[in-house]
Structure 1
Amino acid sequence: MNGRILALVLVCLWGLVSAAQAAPLTVAVKASPPFSYQQGDRWDGISVELWEKVAEKADYEYRLRPYGSVSEMLDAVEQGQADVAIGAISVTADRERRLDFTQPMFRAGLGIATRNEASGWVTTLRNLFSWKFVSAVLALVLVLLLVGLLIWLLERRKNPEQFGGSASQGIGSGFWWSAVTMTTVGYGDKAPVSTGGRVLGLVWMFVSIITISGFTAAIASSVTLNELQSRINGAADLPRVKVAAVEGTSGANWLAGQGTTFVPYPNNQQALRAVVIGEVDALVSDAPVMRYMLRERGTTNALVLPALVREESYAFAMANGSALRESLDQAMLEILPTQEWRTVLNRYLGAEE
C-alpha cells in the first residue's frame, strides 16, 4: 500500500513539474522604438526580434505582456509577475542590485536631444528684432521726442530760424537735434542759443553718453545671451537650461545624481515633443531611442548630440537567481556575433549602428 502511495505522489510531482516546464514564460515589454514597438497586434523592434530568436533556440514558449514604463516592467519581474523584461533596458548599478541581466545585447547610452537652432545672421536678426528690442527702441524714441519738445519750447522764440515754424515743424527740428546730439554725430545744422537751451543741451550730452552706452550694451548682451541659450554642446550646459527627462528612467536618475533639476514627462514621445516646440531646451534619455524617433518623424529642428552623457549596456532583465539566465546567455552568445544579427541592427539603425 505504501509503495502505491509513493508511486502516486511521484506521478503527481512529475505532472506538476512537467506542467510548470510547459507553462509559457511571461515576457514584459514596453514601447521604446527602435527596440520595441507595436505594429497593429504585433510587437516588433530590435529587442523583440532578438527575443524571438533566443526563445526559438532555447525552445521557450512565451507570451508578451505590455507595460507602461521601464520601472513597471522591472517591478513586475522582481515581484514574480513576469519572467523576463525586454526593450530598451539599460543596466545600472541600482538595477543590478535588484535583478539579474543577460549578456549585453546593445551598447549605447544616455544622450542629449536639443533644438537644432539656425546659426549666423538668421539667428542674430531674429534675436535682435524681438519684442524686448522693439520696446526698448520705442522707449528711446519717446525720450528723444520729449527732449525735442523741451528744446523747441526753449528755442522757438529766440531761435526761430532753426526751431521755428509750426508746432510740428519745430518739434521735428527738436527731435532731429536730440537724435544727432545723442549719437554724438553733431551735424551743427541746429544748435541752441538761449541759456535754457544750452543748459538742456549740456545735460543731454552727458545723459546721451550714458544712455547710448547702456542701450548698446543691452542689445549686445541680449543677442549674446539668446545665442548662448539656443546652443547646447554637452552635459556641462544642462544646469543653465530647462531640461526634461522621463520619470523613473536612467536619464532621470542621472540628472538627479548630478543635482540638475528637470521637468518630468511620462514618456519619450511627450518629452521629445516638448523639445521640438521649445517647451524645454533639452531632453536626457536613451540616445538610440531619441535618434530613431526624430528620424521616423522627419524632424529637422531637433537633433541628438553625438557625444554620449554616459555609456550604457542594454540587456534583458530577470529576477535574481533566475534559472533562465544561463540558457538565455548561451542563445544570445550564438546570435549576437553573426552577420545575420548585424543585418537586423542595420535595418533598424542604419548608419547609426
Structure 2
Amino acid sequence: MAATLPLQALPLTVGIPRDTSPCAFWREGLASGTAVEHWRAVAEASELPYQARAVSSITDGLTQLRTGELDVLVSCLNITPQRLRLTNFTVPVSEDGLALVGREGSVRNLVAILLPVLASTAVVSLVLLVLLSGITALAVWAVERGFHHSDVNAKDGKVSRPFFKAWVMLFSSSGLYKMGYSKRAMSFVAVNALAARVVFALFISSVTALVASRAVDDSLRGRGVVLSASQDEPVAVLRGSAADEWLMDERNRGVAAVEPRRFDSMAEITAALQREDPDRALIDQRAARELLQSEDWTDLRILSDYPLRFYQAFAVSPGLERTVLERINIAITQIGPIEHYER
C-alpha cells in the first residue's frame, strides 16, 4: 500500500469526484475545478508526484480513503464531526457555508406581477388627476366666461394666469367655491371633486401597495428560509456531503422533517431541478453561486444562506505517512487560498 512505503516511493493516489463542480469534476478525461487547481499548486509546492483517479462520489472517495485505496481526496470537502471520526484532513484551505436554492415561490411570483401593475396604476391615476382638473377648469372657464373671483384672477389680467391657478385649485381641491357662481359651473366642480377623490384614493392605494410589495419582495430576497418540521418536501443534496449530514442531524433532533434526496453529482442535481423533482437543493454556497451564473437559469434563486460555516480541506488516508502530510500542510500555508483558483 502506497501509504506505508517510504516517502515518494510511489506517486500519491489522489481521488477526484466525477462531478462536485465547481470544486472538482472530470471533462473529457481531465480533472478540473477550483479544488483541483489548488491541489495541483500544493503538489507542485510540496514536490509530491501523484496520480489522479476518478471516484463516483464523495462517499465513495471517503470509503476508499479508509481502505487505503486512496491517499488523498480532493474537492471542497467540509470538515464535519462525522468525517473526523472516519478519516484525517489537511489544514483548512477554505471556508464555505450552505445555501438553499430553488425557484421563486408563488408569493414572490405574485409580487413580480404586481410591481409593474401597481407602478402603472399610480402613474395613470396621477395623470388622470391632472387631466380631470384641467378639463374641469376649462369647462368652468367656458361656462362662466372667465373666472370672476379676485383670488383666482391675476392682477395683470392675463387669461393664462387665472386659468392655471384655477387648474391648481381644482387639482388640490382647495377653494372650490371660488370657481364660479352658476349651477352648471358648480355641477362641474362637484363632479370634479367627487371623481378627484376616487382617483386620488386609487393613487394613494396603489402607491401604498407598491411600497408594501417592494418591502415584501426585499424581505423574501433577504430572509432565512428555515427547514421547519412542517416542510416535508424533499431537498436535493450531494450524497455524503456536509449538507446531507447536516440535514440528517436536523431530522434526528426533530428540528426538520425534510427528506434529503441524494444524488452523486451536481449534474444530477441540476437535472433534478430542471424537472422540478425536487425543486430545491441544499448545496455549498460556492456551488450555488456557480449554478446561478448559468444562463439556463432565470427563475432560480438562493432562498437562504445558512449562517453555519464549514472549514474545508483535502481529506487524507489515516495511513498516510506523517512526513508526507506535513509537506502537504506546509505547501498549503505557502500558497493562496482556494478562492484564488475560482473561475
TM-score (norm 1): 0.57
SS in 2 for 1:98: coil
Paired residues in the alignment total 224
Q: 1:34 aligns with which of 6, 10, 22?
A: 22
Equivalent of residue 59 in structure 2, options 71, 80, 99: 71
Q: Is the 8 A contact 1:245 1:284 kept in 2?
A: yes
Between the aligned partners of 2:5 and 2:111, the Cα distance in structure 1 is 73
SS in 2 for 1:82: coil
Q: Closer, same or farther in 2 for the Cα pair 1:248/1:299, shift >3 Å?
A: same
> Aligned pair in 2 of structure 1 residues 120, 86: CA closer, same or farther (>3 Å)?
same
Q: Is the 8 A contact 1:276 1:301 kept in 2?
A: no
User: Whose strand fraction is larger, Structure 1's or Structure 2's?
Assistant: 2
8 Å CA contact 2:100, 2:303 repeated in 1: yes
> Which of 226, 229, 248 in structure 2 is aligned with 1:256?
248
Shifted more, 281-290 versus 64-73: the winner is 281-290
CA distance in 2 between partners of 1:263 and 1:344 (Å): 30
- Runs of 4+ aligned structure 1 residues displaced above 4 Å come to 121-124
Q: Which residue of 2 aligns with 1:91?
A: 79
Matches within 5 A, 1:292-311: 292-305=290-303, 307-308=305-306, 310-311=308-309
Residues 97-141 of structure 1: CA deviation (Å, up to 9, x unaligned): 2111112111112211111344345668xxxxxxxxxxxxxxxxx
For 1:97, the aligned partner's letter is R
Confirm or deny that 1:335 pairs with 2:335. Answer: yes
Task: Choose which of 35, 45, 56 in structure 1 pairs with 2:33.
Answer: 45
- Which secondary structure state, in structure 2, belongs to the residue aligned with residue 278 of structure 1? coil
Match of 2:94 in 1: 106
**Amino acid of the structure 2 residue aligned with 1:113:** V
Aligned partners of 2:5, 2:109: CA distance in 1, in Å? 67
* Secondary structure of 1:303 counterpart: strand
Structure 1: runs of 5 or more not aligned: 1-15, 125-226, 349-353
Match of 1:314? 312
How far 1:319 moved relative to its partner? 2.0
Per the alignment, residue 25 of structure 1 pairs with 12
CA distance in 2, matches of 1:326, 1:241: 45
| Residue type at the aligned position of 2:246 | W
Q: C-alpha distance in 1, partners of 2:61/2:43? A: 19
Secondary structure of the equivalent of 1:119? helix
Tell me the distance in 2 between the aligned counterparts of 1:245 and 1:326.
33
1:264 alignment partner, SS class: strand
Within 2, Cα distance between the matches of 1:262 and 1:76?
A: 27
Q: Deviations over 1:288-337 (max 9, x none)?
A: 11321332354111122452253111110112263222111100000026
Q: Structure 1: how far apart are the matches of 2:60 and 2:44? A: 26
Distance 1:304 1:330, change over 3 A: same
Decide whether aligned partners of structure 1 residues 342 and 33 sit closer, same or farther in structure 2, where only a CA change above 3 A counts.
closer
Q: 1:278 to 1:238 in 2, by over 3 A?
A: farther
Letter in 2 for 1:23: L
| CA RMSD, 1 decimal | 2.9
Equivalent position SS for 2:249: helix
Q: CA deviation at 1:276?
A: 4.1
Deviation at 1:263, TM superposition (A): 4.3
Instruction: Look up the SS of the partner of 2:78 in the other structure.
Output: coil
Q: CA deviation at 1:277?
A: 3.7
The CA distance in 2 between the partners of 1:122 and 1:47, in whole Å, is 38
Question: Which amino acid in 1 is paired with 2:80?
Answer: T
Distance 2:48 2:76 in 1: 21
Distance (whole Å) between structure 2 residues aligned to residue 286 and residue 255 of structure 1: 13
Report the Cα distance in structure 2 between the residues aligned to 1:250 and 1:17, rounded to whole angstroms. 32
Q: Please say which of residues 311-320 and 297-306 is displaced more in the overlay.
A: 297-306
Structure-2 separation of matches of 1:279 and 1:123: 25
Q: Structure 2: which 5+ runs fail to align?
A: 115-215, 252-256
Deviates more, 1:93-102 or 1:36-45: 36-45
Using a 3 Å threshold, how does the CA distance of structure 1 residues 292 and 17 change in structure 2: closer, same or farther?
A: closer
Structure-2 residue corresponding to 1:325: 325
Question: TM-score under structure 2 normalisation?
Answer: 0.58
Contact 2:285–2:305 under 8 Å retained in 1: no
Distance 1:237 1:342 in 2: 29
- The question of 1:119 aligning with 2:119 is answered no
Letter in 2 for 1:247: R
How much identity, in percent, do the aligned residues show? Answer: 23
Q: Is the 8 A contact 2:45 2:331 kept in 1?
A: yes
The whole-number CA distance in structure 1 between the counterparts of 2:228 and 2:295 is 25
Q: 1:235 Cα deviation (Å)?
A: 4.4
Partners of 1:80 and 1:114 in 2: CA distance: 38
The residue number in structure 1 matching 2:288 is: 290
